[in-house]
Amino acid sequence: MSRTTRRVLAVLRSPVGILAVVACLTLAFLAIFAPIVWGAAAAVTDTEQLSQPPSAEHVFGTDGSGRDILLRTLVATRLSVVMALTATLAGVVCGVVLGLLPLMLGGRAGRLIVAAINIGVAFPSLLLAIAFSVILGQSGTAATLAIAIAMIPSYGRLTHNLAASVWGRDFVSAARVLGVPDWRTVLRHVLPNVRDPLLVNAAITAGTALLAFAGLSFLGLGIQVPEYDWGRMLNEGVTRIFVTPAAALVPGAAIILAGLTFVLLGEVLGQALTPSTRRRVPRAMRRAQRTSEAPADATAVDEDAVLSVRDLHVSAPGADGQWQPLVHGISFDVARGEIVGVVGESGSGKSVTLMAIAGLLDAPLRVGAAGARFDGEPLAMTTDARASSVDHRLGQRLAIVFQDPMSSLNPALSVGSQVAEPGILHLGMSRSEAKAAAIERLRAVRIPDAERRYGQYPHEYSGGMRQRAMIATGLMGTPALILADEPTTALDVTVQAEILAQLRQVNEEHGTSIVLVSHDIAVVTSLCSRVLVMYRGRLVEDVRSSDLKAGRATHPYTRALLATVPTMSTPRGEPMASIPDDADFTAGAAEVEVVRAADDPALVETFGETALAEGAS
């Protein structure tokens, strides 16, 4: 059984899932079989039973024509539900097509379509439905078409926003470079990535369509005599509500229950398509997580260090039901005012370690430590202990600079407002005070014309300016520690130098400690006084930068990393050195020599011997 199937079954076995399944099956049964079973009986009029109260023969009484209210409500299920689903299907399909057209057409035509969608969204959907129903005429078909038309602008806007976020991704650009037509790119690459939220919204919208259709019939714009739906029954019963209240209350209750059924369906789809990560952890593994997390023991840590961590573990649930370790019991200290580098190959656990320290790892990952202190106070190193006073202290004394500032900054908010936010949340500043402080921080990190730049959005900043803005955000408080997760990887060499100089300046002027994660050993040794080397989730060596530069590293993996770094004295005629994939540098293993690219079978197979020789020269 696949993981997706297990996830869907788990959702269906939940209380909400069971209730949604029962409600949907009941609604489907009534829509299919109620007219067949009770259709004739519901149409029988009895002049001797006009507007009768509830009785054994008629559970909810009769209407003004002597017809059974309960049977008519059950029979009306088919018309009410079918019309609502038809309107939803037509509106969603047309809205999705309209939202995707700007991507396929582009240029002026695409902009005109987006403008038309924006104009349509400006009008309330129910008002549009009433207006089009009046124009198209008084009938069930006209009401269905009117509701579908009213849905199109909102679904066009939703689809276009979702699709535009996918359209700019690398895999879409690669498809366009390969010459794939835009319409095929939209269908194969964009639509599958926006399908899930559209399905969830469509299920919820079906309930709204049901209510809208009943409203139009109540106003006399929908179903006409002799046909009837819940809205038509409500229209007929409301005039006699003080004589036979059930004539209005029963169809009204049916409308509410059917609407709730579609809302429950949307909730179940939302859980199945975008499930909570905590629910994916098996119960037994959650029990193991709670029992295996060691309590914080502050006596094992260095109280003078700005950050001290002992025996940090991070694990993830594996396919076999066992916890797979990502970080294996690492311990380290960061002194006040010290700059520490963390190096290692991709997947060695560098970024996971920083995220665990900042409390940014959620379930199903498991975090635990024997002891941890930050800025003189105990630090809770568990997955579920972030919602506490620790958050407030970390917001003031800890700053994080991520690898890609474009994804770290909200594109819908101005950069200045995001820089000012920590001042409002953690420092008790008013909006005006936070704005003034944010402008000063932007000036401090050398953002030109800071007052004007305060109101600009991330796309109006260059890559280096966005990274400096992230540093300014951290400087809104008085950070004791900055966690910099590969802050220069996505930048060119000149901008890298500016960012590194900015970090050094912050360290010298404010005494802020820095933990810098990087793949570039040259960058780390030039900025940091000490280097932590990680390998397969383990901290294999803690070495001073001066010893690293002098080649005095002791661990085989560290020496292998140094051997792969080209220097000015590296012969240009020789291929670049690399570490074999099957190399094993675990404790006690013999040192594994690095190999030249021309001797690596995987590289030779991928690029060819000629290409490697030309690249080396």
| Chain-centre distance for alpha carbon 49 | 59
pLDDT attached to residue 291: 37
Both 477 and 605 in one domain: the answer is: no
482: part of which helix (H) or strand (E)? strand 481-485
pLDDT attached to residue 484: 84
User: Cα–Cα distances in Å, from 543 out to 184, 339, 593?
Assistant: 53, 13, 21
User: What CATH code is carried by the domain that includes residue 395?
Assistant: 3.40.50.300
Both 522 and 598 in one domain: the answer is: no
User: What CATH code is carried by the domain that includes residue 20?
Assistant: 1.10.3720.10
Q: Is 461 part of a structural domain of the chain?
A: yes
User: Cα–Cα distances in Å, from 311 out to 155, 223, 333, 354?
Assistant: 51, 70, 12, 14
What's the chain's average pLDDT? 80
Q: Which segment, 59-68, 95-104, 356-365, 540-549, is predicted with the most confidence on average?
A: 95-104
Q: Which whole number is the average pLDDT over 516-535?
A: 85
Q: Which segment, 334-338, 419-423, 520-524, is predicted with the most confidence on average?
A: 334-338
Both 576 and 540 in one domain: the answer is: no
Both 339 and 408 in one domain: the answer is: yes
Both 154 and 219 in one domain: the answer is: yes
List strand residue ranges (DSSP E) for 253-357, in order: 307-317, 323-334, 339-343
Distance CA(375)–CA(511), nearest Å, equals 13
Q: Is the pLDDT of residue 279 over 50?
A: no
For residue 136, count other CB atoms closer than 10 A to its CB.
16
Q: Is 295 part of a structural domain of the chain?
A: no
Q: Is 415 part of a structural domain of the chain?
A: yes
Q: Is 327 part of a structural domain of the chain?
A: no
In three-state secondary structure terms, 577 is strand
pLDDT attached to residue 84: 93
> How does residue 380 score in pLDDT terms, banded at 50, 70 and 90?
confident
Both 397 and 271 in one domain: the answer is: no
Both 404 and 506 in one domain: the answer is: yes
Q: Is 313 part of a structural domain of the chain?
A: no
pLDDT attached to residue 254: 94
pLDDT attached to residue 297: 43
Q: Is 536 part of a structural domain of the chain?
A: yes
Q: Is the pLDDT of residue 599 over 80?
A: no
Both 532 and 574 in one domain: the answer is: no
Listed residues 259, 275, 291: the one ending a domain? 275
Distance CA(79)–CA(210), nearest Å, equals 10
Q: Is the pLDDT of residue 247 over 60?
A: yes
User: Cα–Cα distances in Å, from 460 out to 49, 455, 464?
Assistant: 75, 10, 12
State the amino acid at position 192 in one-letter form: P
pLDDT digits (tens, 9 = 90+) for 296-328: 444 466 677 888 988 888 888 876 667 888 888
> How does residue 257 score in pLDDT terms, banded at 50, 70 and 90?
very high
pLDDT digits (tens, 9 = 90+) for 492-511: 677 778 778 878 888 888 88
In three-state secondary structure terms, 168 is coil
Q: Which whole number is the average pLDDT over 571-589?
A: 61
Share of the chain above pLDDT 90, in %: 24
Nearest CA-CA partner of 34 in 8, 85, 59, 70: 70
Both 541 and 570 in one domain: the answer is: no
Listed residues 546, 574, 591: the one ending a domain? 546
Listed residues 490, 516, 546: the one ending a domain? 546
pLDDT attached to residue 389: 41
Residue 601 structural domain: 566-616
Both 535 and 461 in one domain: the answer is: yes
Both 540 and 584 in one domain: the answer is: no
pLDDT attached to residue 79: 93
- As for how many domains the chain has, the answer is 3
Q: Is 521 part of a structural domain of the chain?
A: yes
Tell which wins on pLDDT, 313 or 594: 313
Q: Is 560 part of a structural domain of the chain?
A: no
pLDDT digits (tens, 9 = 90+) for 185-199: 888 888 888 888 899
pLDDT attached to residue 4: 60
Share of the chain above pLDDT 70, in %: 81
Distance CA(562)–CA(521), nearest Å, equals 8
Both 85 and 177 in one domain: the answer is: yes
pLDDT digits (tens, 9 = 90+) for 602-612: 444 444 444 44
Stated pTM of the model: 0.58
> How does residue 286 score in pLDDT terms, banded at 50, 70 and 90?
very low
